[in-house]
Structure formats: structure tokens, C-alpha cells
Amino acid sequence: MERVITKNKLKFQFSELMKERMIIAIRWFCMSLFLYTAYAKIIDHDRFLKGLTRVHLISGFAVFLSFAVPIVEIIVVLLLLIPRIAITGLYCFITIMTVFTIYIISAMTWEKKLPCSCGGAIEKLSWSQHIWFNLTYISIAIFALWLNKLNTSFKNQQNEKF
Amino acid sequence: MKNFKQITLGLILGAMVIGFSAFTNAPKRATGDVYANELGNGSYTLLANPYTPGDCASASIPCAFEVTAAGASHVTGGTLSSSQITTDLNNQWIEQEGSTNGVYSGD
């Protein structure tokens, strides 16, 4: 990582290799989260379904959601795994995590007692910790997209030069 | 070739995540699971649907117990006997759901 001063502007620059590696690491980090939670929801599907039925906000769609959520998570894992479509995967990841976060905030507002059926060790987080956890993942994924954008514009500049 | 390497490493990581997940996802009860007095004999059965206090009637023992956060990794099984209820209450693994007594007629 280098620090470059240009026209009173201080900015950090990463080497292209570093950017690429960071994007890969973030993709795998996001992929691991969804794979872990999807697996937990599938192997203990009954408990996940019961948890959803207890939230009045979504109890009407509980059966549908109990299948849809892990399936969507696995699709995003596959998108993140394949390099050619990984950026689409990151966009999907951010969208889904944002939806989950909005759901948590609205459920916290409307429900007195909330069961967490998020899967695995993540269930041990409190609801506010859960929101921060989600926001951290969303920020990291946005950072990866930003790095990718920098990478792309750098490559375009190089192509223009030669 | 570079993409193939990335996918292979991703798959290895995925296998590791699932392996790790198997350790942390052993079947257990979730915080907030409710056991209700459906049989009227002092044993309590796990409810599949949301608990409705209005479905409790005509008994002097608690209608339902709820699994606490501390009890989530200890309380197991679909039915709790009266002795298990006493133990779980002493350990604060369950708590009475509301203050309603009775036999539960919901599902």
C-alpha cells in the first residue's frame, strides 16, 4: 500500500494485485457467511420454520420464506464463487443483507419477543449486535465494489495510454 | 486457469465452512420455543405453532413454559416431563410464559 499526495489531496493507493486479492478475500468472506447460515437453515429446517411462524410480521409467508431464504443464499454463494459473475454476486449480497437488516429493524419495532432463526452461532448475537454485524458485512461488500471500480478505471486508463 | 484456481479454492473454503457449521449447528431448541400443557398430566409438549394464551383453560398448573436464552443449548426433546420442568426451572433454562394457568387446547 502506498500513500500518494496529489495537488493537496491525500489518498491511499493499493497495487492492482493487492486490490484483486482484497476483492477475492471479501467475496470469500461473504460467501462463507451465506453458506454457513444456509446450511444451518437447511439441516434444522423445522426450527427455522417455527422461528419464522412466531414473527407475526411474516408468519403468513413462513413456509415460503423457510425454503426461499436458504435457496437465495445458496444462489448468491454460487454467484460469489464464480469469478466472471462475482460482482453481480456482491450486488445481490448487499441487497439481501440490506433486506435482512430492514426486516430486523421493523421486527424490533413491531414484535415484543423476537426469536432469531438466523442459523448457527449468529443466533447468539443480540438484535442490536445483529444489526451492526449486518452493517459491517454490507460495508465490506461495498468496499469490494469500490475497489473493483478503481481496478476497472485503472485498466481503462492503461488501455487509453497504449 | 486463474479462474479455475479461484473456484477450486472457493470450494475448499466452502467445504471447511460446512464442516465448521456442523459443529455449531447440532439440533437444539431456540430461545423462545414454547412447551405447553396439552396433555393435562404435568408434562409439556413443544408447540409447532405460535402460542395463544386464550387457548388455556381449566387447570391450576402453568399453561406453558418458554425456553430462555440460557436454556437454548440445554433444553432438548419434544416433551418435558414434570421432573424435567422442575430441573429446567431451577436452572432458569425455561420460564413460565405469561401467568396463565390451564390445559392448552391450541396446536
**CB-closest option in B6, B17, B20 to A24:** B6
pLDDT in tens, B92-103: 888 888 778 888
Sign of torsion, CA B68 B72 B75 B77? positive
* Alpha-carbon gap, residue B14 to A77, rounded angstroms: 9
A94-103, B8-17, B55-64, B68-77: the lowest-pLDDT one: B68-77
CB contact under 8 A, B32 and A51: yes
List CB contacts (< 8 A) between A45 and chain B. none
pTM of the model: 0.67
ipTM for the whole complex: 0.70
Q: Cβ contact (<8 Å) for B25 and A39?
A: yes
For B68-81, the pLDDT digits (tens) are: 877 877 787 778 88
Torsion of Cα atoms, A68 then A34 then A135 then A59, to 10°: 30
Closest residue of chain A to B31, computed from CA coordinates: A115
